[in-house]
Structure 1
Amino acid sequence: MPETVPQPPAALSASAALRVECSREGFARVRSFTRDTLHVWSLDHCCDDATLVITELTANAATHAVAGTPGAPEIRLGFLLDPTHLLVTVSDPDDHPPVYAPAGSSLEENGRGLCIVDALSEEWGWTPSPPAGKTVWARLSTCPPL
């Protein structure tokens, strides 16, 4: 798992960002924001996978990173679109890297989020976000299915 965020090409065609609170309403907003952004970018064919990836990354940030942070920490989402890929990012205030544990039992209630991200994205990783925190990212193809 690389520790750097892939750099978008110089011909970046679009970007979007959202700050979200960790609440049921916040997670609904994450899903709506993702669907609405991809619809505007004519990427409806990527919507289900991207929404699932961003939801898993946001849930991981809320569960593992934000839960132990005092106050009302935020999670920041980002979308970068280039001609062939969508880069989704989730930044949180925790410095610890994400923990990827390949699926053990299919009956486990927790611990499958990054396995889902791994299955749906072409690549994913994380990078520290100075002065504190980290950004977890995933790159998804924007090519329509054949």
Structure 2
Amino acid sequence: MSSPAQFRNRESVHDSARTATFRITGSREGFAEAREFTHRTLDMWDVGECADDAVTVVTELAANAVLHALPDVPPGGADVRLRLTLRRAHLVCAVTDQCDTPPLYPSPGDSLLEHGRGLHIVEALSAHWGWTRRAPLGKTVWAMLPTRTQA
């Protein structure tokens, strides 16, 4: 189990009341810490009703970034960032990596594949999702989840 000090070391010092960031390592522990960070942040913002969907979306986006966008980076070496932003009626979950390759959305005929359903899950749980290029290198894949409370 991770100590609170470990989370403080990774959380952005400049986080506002409505934005929180977290560096995700490409390890099993890193994904668990990202899920815990998401739960704690949403509880603090009092939008726990969307926590389960948000954690699933964060897990899928982070796994895609670490496994597909950065295949040549050694474990733990990936620079993958999670940013949670609470807007008036939506929670935005965004994962940024250093790769310019767009996310690949599998075709409907690929339903029997062992992998590749992550973006289908993200699409099913979110109101909108997409991606944007970052200059000079990288991309951000994001998903907007509706919140029941108006912030």
TM-score band, normalised by shorter chain: 0.7 to 0.9
Q: Kindly indicate whether residue 127 of structure 2 is the aligned counterpart of residue 122 of structure 1.
A: yes
Supply the AA of the counterpart residue of 2:139. K
The runs of 5 or more residues in structure 1 that have no matched partner are 1-11
Cα gap change, 1:107/1:92 in structure 2, threshold over 3 Å: closer, same or farther? Answer: same
**CA–CA distance in structure 1, aligned partners of residues 29 and 96 of structure 2:** 18
Structure with bigger helix share is: 2
1:38-57 mapped onto 2 (5 Å cutoff): 38-57=42-61
Bigger relative contact order, structure 1 or 2 (CA pairs below 8 A, ≥6 apart):
1
| 62-71 or 116-125, larger mean C-alpha shift | 62-71
> Aligned match of 1:80 in 85, 105, 112?
85
| Alpha-carbon offset, residue 68 of structure 1 | 2.4
Structure 2 length as normaliser, TM-score? Answer: 0.82
The root-mean-square deviation of aligned C-alpha atoms, in Å, is 1.8
Cross-structure match for 1:135:
140
Across the two proteins, how many residue pairs are aligned to each other?
Answer: 133
Following TM superposition, the consecutive aligned residue runs of length 4 or more in structure 1 with deviations greater than 2 angstroms are: 68-71, 102-108
The runs of 5 or more residues in structure 2 that have no matched partner are 1-15
1:95-106 mapped onto 2 (5 Å cutoff): 95-104=100-109, 106=111
Structure 1 length as normaliser, TM-score? Answer: 0.84
**CA–CA distance in structure 2, aligned partners of residues 60 and 77 of structure 1:** 13
